Structures are given as structure tokens and as C-alpha cells.
Chain A
Amino acid sequence: MTRPVIEVRDLQKIYGEGEATVHALAGVSLVVERGDYVAIMGSSGSGKSTLMNILGALDVPTHGTYHLDGVDVSKLGDRQLALARNRLIGFIFQSFNLIPRTTAVANVELPLAYAGVKPRERRRRALAALSVVGLDDRAKHEPNQLSGGQQQRVAVARALVTEPALLLADEPTGNLDSRSTEDVLNVFDDLSAAGRTIVIITHEDEVGARAKRLVRLVDGRIVQDTRQSPLNQRPVGAFAGRHTA
């Protein structure tokens, strides 16, 4: 078996000092295998955003280890963290976070630019990623000319384009109407079926139900970890779970 994409051991994150300390994460251990599709759910204040920041190499844990694709991220410096974010992780944010006044294709190219890919190759791969999310005809549009769902699909394309080990989505459907949510989730299903490793942070049951595995977080601890469909199959939600939630 190949090494797991995410291997987290006793992760703790403590904010503040003395009396005012807050244990945002109180010892989380989690292993995510390659090709898995995990939804991390929890109410606000459950520590899921903190977990997302650490999994995304945007923040470092106070205690515990985090191996991302075999690399010990918790020990990296600023420069290597930037490199890890660029090569190993594809981010999808709740508020899309596309660069304004920049075309869709240029947005998708951005991580490749930071990775040092040549412009011609970059353009080719960016267009390929856009066609995966079904937006190849919108390549020259700027974010304010696109609908929310389209913007989020551009963001997915941007996350895909570097072929990262992990796709990390933070409330990807939080700002979308149900129709656009459906579009984006279908893209995730396709990506999962194509063997991508996906971690979604969400508080929507509908989104959680479609993942292969559901992890519930309460007060910085994992309270539930359910496998909803086998690792090597198309996620169950793609067919049946669509109307259950």
C-alpha cells in the first residue's frame, strides 16, 4: 500500500496564554489514504477551520505531527511551507478567492507560475484544467463576469492544475445556491472517481453525505468517523445519497 496522503498524530492547537488559553484542537489523529473523499463536519467553534489551516499548511500546530504525502509539514519553515502549499495542496475556499481583474485562465495559471512552469505549458495545462470543470469556453472571462458557481469551478480548476496530492476545500458550497452547489459537488464526485484525494470541510449535511467518509468534530476532538462507501469505488452520494439528506 502507498503511503497515506494525510497522517496526523495527536494534533493540538492552543491559542492565547495563561487563563485565556483555548484548545482549538485537543489531540486529533487522522489518516487519509490516497483516493479517499473525506468530509469533515462540525458546528462553528468545533475546530474545523483550525484543522483546515493546519492541513493546508497555512498554520503550524502547537503540538503533534503532520505528514503530508510523507513530508513532515509541522517542521517546515516559511519557504518550504510555501513550496508545500504550491506542490502538494490545491485550495478551494468558501469565498472563491479568485484574483480580481484577472481572467479565469490567468487565475488558473497562477500556481503554475509560482511553480516555475513555462508560459506555453502553463496555458495548456490551465485550459485542460478548465475543461475538466466544464468552463473551457469561459477562459477569457474575468471573475466579475462569472456566476458564483462558475467562479468556484474556476477555483477548483486552479486547485487541480498543479496535480496536487490533496484537494482541500473549505466550505466550498457555503456561498452557492443549490443549483451551483450541485454543479460543484458533481465536479468533486468526478474528481474522486478519477482517483483524487479530497478533503472537504463543511457544515452542510447534504455535502457530507456525498463523501466516501464522514468525520465529525466536536470541541476539537473527533467524535465520529464513518465510512459511507468503499475507497476504490465511485462515492455513494453520486448516485444514491443525493436526496437522502
Chain B
Amino acid sequence: MSFREVVRFALRGLSANKLRSALTMLGILIGVASVILLVAVGNGSAKAVSDRIEALGTNTITVMSTNRGGSSNTSLTTEIADALTDPTMAPDVASVSPVVSSSATITYEGTDHDVSTFVGTTTDWFKASNTPVGEGAGFSADDVAQGRRVVVIGETVAEELFPGVDPIDKQVTVSGALFTVVGVLAEKSSTGNQDSNDTAIAPLNAVRQVLSGYGALSSILVEAKDPDKVDLVQSEVSTILDQRLTTTASSTSSNSTPYRIQNASQLLETQTATADTFTTLLGAVAAISLLVGGIGITNIMLVTVTERTREIGIRKALGAPRRVILNQFLIEATLLSVIGGALGVAAALIGSNFEIVGVRPVIVPSSVGLALGVSIAIGLFFGGLPASRAARLRPIDALRYE
């Protein structure tokens, strides 16, 4: 009795009850598709997060002050920013961009637009923060030195203020001061709730003069010469900062340093770990539905065995060995799960072309293999009980069964 023959018997058995077989397959289909798809969604969101962080620039660190508006010797100043460019103490620093930022209202010919982040910085910032200028040009080092009132606006700002008009060389008003638009930033992929295109960049001193005043800096963006040297730069920067920002061993913030360093690559690792947990959780929930599908197979196969007890008796009387009966029912169960699984993979592949809850799913190839493998295993495992029950039937009992 060849294997092909047994498969043909099994197929005939399945096609005898098409609706029932189809519904059982649907259970496995949903299980497999949800495993693949949910893992893909988890993976997709992890990828979105890491893309977002990479967009910030993985070879940079951001220094921020922990106590805003506190005593002047613990706040970040331009002197501290300049000190970070020290080639002997910080040899791996490529550039340092002091940053002040605030929100502001930009006005052009009577149209107002509130910019969530109006950034004052230096020319290096564009490269370090991975924010290229699309149209026009960034401002020059000379502009920064002179504190010229020029501004580079984000895509959203350009659309709001200059619908259908070329914004370059137009004059806008920010807090009563006139700024000349010199460029528009290239569109950035918007992530999360915050519109990263709703921004405007101007020379540091111009912003300080007009908006923020000459107080502390919001942050300092430090670019490393090489992405591998980010951690090195971080320690160099902290050494310098520890010297400069003398913590008056005070009672308030006891041991903690007066500054905080945000390291993009560290952030990336943390976020990836979080996303992995999320993905595992989603996969586990989906695996439960796969398990339920498997129990559906057991249920249906038990019904089938009971229904076909007489047929089993006939086959045994005609000389079918126990093993052939076992194989026939095992293969029926496995076919159910394999066909259901294959359709599930197809459904998942189709489903992954659509955006799900705002996330573009990214299929993990191993999850496809795993889900298929598990569905085959489920067929064998959950089909095993009914199949062995069929094989154990005594032919006279089975023949007498009505």
C-alpha cells in the first residue's frame, strides 16, 4: 500500500464532507494567518520605531540639562558647547551644535501659523541631525556669526503659509521680527503624533535675540566622527561636562549629574527590546488561536471516526492493517492543517500589503516557516488521538456498528 494511495483515500475522505473540512481548515487558516500577520505587525512597528530613531542620527548624542532655569553654573551655555569641541579632550567629536528651541508664531501676509519647534542653532546641525535642506539653502556660518534673521522652514510650514507660492526669499514675521526664508527642509517621514515637518530653523543668535533670550541652551547636539565612536564621544563629553558643571554637592539632586545625555543608539536598543517583547506577546496571542484551530481538528476527526466506524470495519475485514488505518486518518488530519496553513500563509501575505492599525506589517520569514511547521505538527498531534482510536477498533465491533 503506497503512501500516495493513502493520501488519495484521505483526500476522498475529506472531499466527502466539504463544508465541514472547509470550516475546520478555516480555524487553522485564521490561526496561521494571525500568527504571521501579528508578528509582522509587531516587526513593522519595531522597524518604524528604529527608522524614527535612525532618522535622528545614530552617530549623535544629545546633551540636555536636567534642571531648567536653575543656578547658572549647572545650565548649558554656549561656552560649554564650545568647550566640547576641544580636540585634545574630545578627539572623536565631529561637530557640536548648540540648540535653543521654543514654539513661535510665524506670520506671512496676514496668515498665522504656530510652529511647534522653532530651533535656533548653527550650520552643523543640519548634517548632524540628519535634516537635509530640500529647496533653497541652509544658512551659512557667516549668517550664524552675524545673527542674520534668516530661516529654513519645514514642509508643513511652507504648505500652510505659502500655498502655491515659492517661499524662498519671502519675508515672514516671528514675534515682531522679520525673517527671510532661505530654504525649505526636505520632507521627513512623519512619526507618531508629532509632525516632524512642522518646524523652522534659524541661526542661534537670531533666535536668542528674538525669541528665547540669552539664557541657557535647550540642548547640545554632538556628532561623533564615526557611528562606532558614539559611546566614546559620550564618555568624553561627560568628562568635560563633569568638569564644567560643578555640582554644588547640594541636598536637592544629590548624586545625579545636572545634565542628561541621550544616546540615539542606546535608545534604539531599548526601543528594539521593547518592540521584541511586544512582538512576542502578539505572537503568543495568535498562537492561542492556532491551538484552538488544532482542537477543532481533533473534534472534527473524532466525529469523522465515529461516523465512519463501519467503513473502518469494512476496511479491516478486507485486510487493512492497523497502520494503514492510522495513516489514513492521520493524513486526513494533517491535510486539513496543511491546506489550512498554506491558505493562512497566503492570507497573511495578502493582508501584509495593507496598513494595520497604522503600522505597515513586515513579514518575518521565519514566522512563516514556524507557523506552517506548527500547523503540520498540530495536524499530526491533534489528529493522533482520533486516528489511533480508529486504528484500535476491533473489526467485528466496527462492522456491527450502526
Contacts and interface: CB of A to CB of B under 8 A. Distances in A.
Nearest to B314: A97
Interface of B: prevailing SS: helix
A100 B311 contact: yes
A116 B318 contact: no
B318 A110 contact: yes
A99 interface: yes
Contacts of A91: 317-318
Contacts of B315: 99, 110, 114
B317 to A, nearest CB: 5
Contact of A113 (B1, B316, B395): B1
Nearest to A106: B12
Contacts of B5: 113
Given A82-B319, A86-B319, A53 B396 contact: yes
A58 B396 contact: yes
Contacts of A162: 319
A80 to B, nearest CB: 9
A102 B321 contact: no
B356 interface: no
A101 B16 contact: yes
Contacts of B316: 82, 85
A82 B320 contact: yes
B220 to A, nearest CB: 80
A93 interface: yes
A232 to B, nearest CB: 30
A97 B319 contact: no
B391 to A, nearest CB: 10
B12 A102 contact: yes
A97 B1 CA distance: 21
Contacts of A158: 318
A205 to B, nearest CB: 26
Contact of A58 (B1, B311, B399): B399
A87 interface: yes
B322 A59 contact: no
Given A93-B399, A97-B399, A56 B317 contact: yes
B324 A114 contact: yes
B310 A114 contact: no
Given A58-B395, A101-B16, A114-B1, A78 B322 contact: yes
A96 B396 CA distance: 15
Contacts of A53: 396
A59 B396 contact: yes
Contacts of B318: 85-86, 91, 110-111, 114, 158
Contact of A99 (B314, B324, B399): B314
Contacts of A86: 318-320
Contacts of A102: 12
Contact of B321 (A58, A79, A100, A101): A79
Contacts of A56: 317
Interface residues of A, number: 28
Contacts of B16: 101
A59 B400 CA distance: 13
A83 interface: yes
Contacts of A101: 12, 16
A115 interface: yes
A99 B322 CA distance: 18
B319 A115 contact: yes
Given A58-B395, A102-B12, A97 B310 contact: yes
Interface in A79-132: 79, 82-87, 91, 93, 97-102, 110-111, 113-116
A98 B12 CA distance: 15
Contacts of B314: 97-99
Interface string B316-344: 11111110100000000000000000000
A42 to B, nearest CB: 18
Interface string B1-30: 110010000001000100000000000000
Contacts of A87: 319
B1 A116 contact: yes
A98 to B, nearest CB: 8
Q: Which of A82, A83, A99, A162 has the most CB of B within 10 A?
A: A82
Contacts of A110: 315, 318
B311 A79 contact: no
A86 B1 CA distance: 12
Interface of B: 1-2, 5, 12, 16, 310-311, 313-322, 324, 394-396, 399
Give the top 3 A-B pairs by smallest Cβ distance, nearest first. A86-B319, A82-B321, A111-B318
30 contacts: A53-B396, A58-B399, A59-B394, A59-B396, A79-B321, A82-B316, A82-B320, A82-B321, A82-B322, A83-B319, A83-B321, A84-B319, A85-B317, A85-B395, A86-B319, A86-B320, A91-B317, A91-B318, A93-B399, A97-B310, A97-B317, A97-B399, A99-B314, A101-B16, A102-B12, A110-B315, A113-B5, A114-B318, A114-B324, A158-B318
Given A85-B318, A85-B395, A99-B315, 16 more contacts: A58-B399, A78-B322, A82-B321, A85-B316, A85-B319, A93-B399, A99-B311, A99-B314, A101-B16, A110-B315, A111-B319, A113-B1, A114-B318, A114-B321, A115-B319, A162-B319
